[in-house]
């Protein structure tokens, strides 16, 4: 579904991504793991059109992906950004409506809204509440719901567990699996390597802008280098 080939991104004189190549097959959860500053968010922002890349190519469903963010959304890709960047002064319902901004299929929009309220019941209870007053976990659910309202085939999730309590993290990852079961494809960028690998079909390890490991997620979770660098002794006992 998505192919990133030899992507190079620079921030001034800093070479942030150095020839990164990844593949995402339809129906998969593909996880990108790595430490802070590894280039994970740069990669996902490059795919969604937020960051401009200097060299390389991105193709989506066999066609070259446009570089303008609104055209990328229209093509069927949405990003749920790091930090739950919602419209804080709008209500929950208004945020969801913003997610469907490029759509004009009113009946399907209402069906998708109903499905999102089934996926996130708390959003239904808060539909008229100002989004900025929601808890961190509720804001993350709203950000994911707003992304789904664009009716994407591919969802880019950037650090969905960041800053959440452990119980909420489990809930968010359960919901990610449910979204996959809805027929969506997911590219997941996540610092919580154990959780990311445990739900993924395939994974890549990004270090200082370079892909250093890739493969089946269940194999990577048992890899000694991955365990030592990202999982720690506590998590290796649960593998």
The DSSP 8-state label assigned to residue 91 in this structure reads: B
How far is it, in rounded angstroms, from Cα 92 to Cα 145? 10
Asked whether the predicted pLDDT for residue 237 surpasses 50, the reply is no
Q: Is 7 exposed, middle or buried (0-12, 13-18, 19+ CB in 10 A)?
A: buried
Q: To the nearest 10°, report the CA torsion of 85, 186, 147, 108.
A: -170
CATH class of residue range 1-76+153-239: alpha beta
pLDDT, tens only, 50-105: 999 989 999 999 999 999 999 999 999 999 998 888 999 999 999 999 999 989 99
Q: Using a pLDDT cut of 70, give the percent of the chain over it.
A: 97
What pLDDT is attached to residue 191? Answer: 86
What lies within 8 Å, CB to CB, of 159 at 6+ separation is: 41, 82, 83, 189, 190, 191
Question: What are 35-65's pLDDT values in tens digits?
Answer: 888 999 999 999 999 999 989 999 999 999 9
| Distance (Å, whole) CA 21 – CA 127 | 40
Mean pLDDT of the residues in the chain: 93
Q: How far apart are alpha carbons 219 and 203 in whole angstroms?
A: 9
Report yes or no: 206 and 32 within 8 Å, Cβ to Cβ: yes
d(CA 5, CA 178): 29
Tens-place pLDDT, residues 223-235: 988 998 887 745 4
Q: What is the pLDDT of residues 184-204, one digit of tens each?
A: 999 999 989 999 999 999 999
**What pLDDT, in 10s, does the model give residues 113-168?**
999 999 999 999 999 999 999 999 999 999 999 999 999 999 999 999 988 888 89
pTM exceeding the 0.85 threshold for the entire prediction? yes
Query: In which residue ranges of the chain is CATH 3.40.50.300 found?
Result: 1-76+153-239
CA distance 82 to 231: 21
The whole-angstrom separation of Cα 227 and Cα 41 is 22
């Amino acid at each position: 579904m998505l192919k990133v080939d030899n992507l190079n991104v620079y921030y001034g004189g800093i070479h942030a991504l150095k020839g990164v190549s990844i593949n995402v097959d339809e129906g998969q959860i593909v996880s990108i793991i790595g430490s802070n500053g590894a280039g994970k968010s740069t990669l996902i922002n490059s795919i969604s059109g937020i960051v401009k890349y200097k060299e390389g190519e991105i193709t989506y469903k066999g066609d070259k992906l446009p570089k303008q963010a609104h055209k990328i959304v229209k093509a069927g890709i949405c990003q749920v950004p790091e930090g739950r960047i919602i419209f804080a002064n709008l209500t929950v319902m208004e945020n969801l409506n913003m997610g469907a901004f490029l759509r004009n299929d009113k009946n399907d929009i209402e069906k998708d809204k109903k499905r999102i309220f089934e996926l996130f019941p708390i959003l239904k209870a808060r539909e008229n509440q100002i989004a900025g007053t929601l808890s961190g976990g509720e804001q993350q659910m709203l950000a994911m719901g707003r992304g789904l309202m664009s009716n994407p085939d591919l969802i880019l999730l950037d650090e969905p567990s960041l800053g959440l309590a452990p119980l909420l993290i489990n809930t968010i990852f359960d919901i990610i699996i449910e979204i996959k079961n809805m027929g969506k494809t997911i590219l997941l960028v996540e610092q919580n390597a154990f959780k990311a690998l445990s739900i993924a079909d395939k994974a890549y390890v990004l270090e200082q802008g370079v892909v250093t490991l890739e493969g089946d997620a269940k194999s990577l979770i048992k890899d000694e280098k991955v365990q030592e660098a990202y999982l720690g002794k506590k998590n290796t006992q649960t593998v």
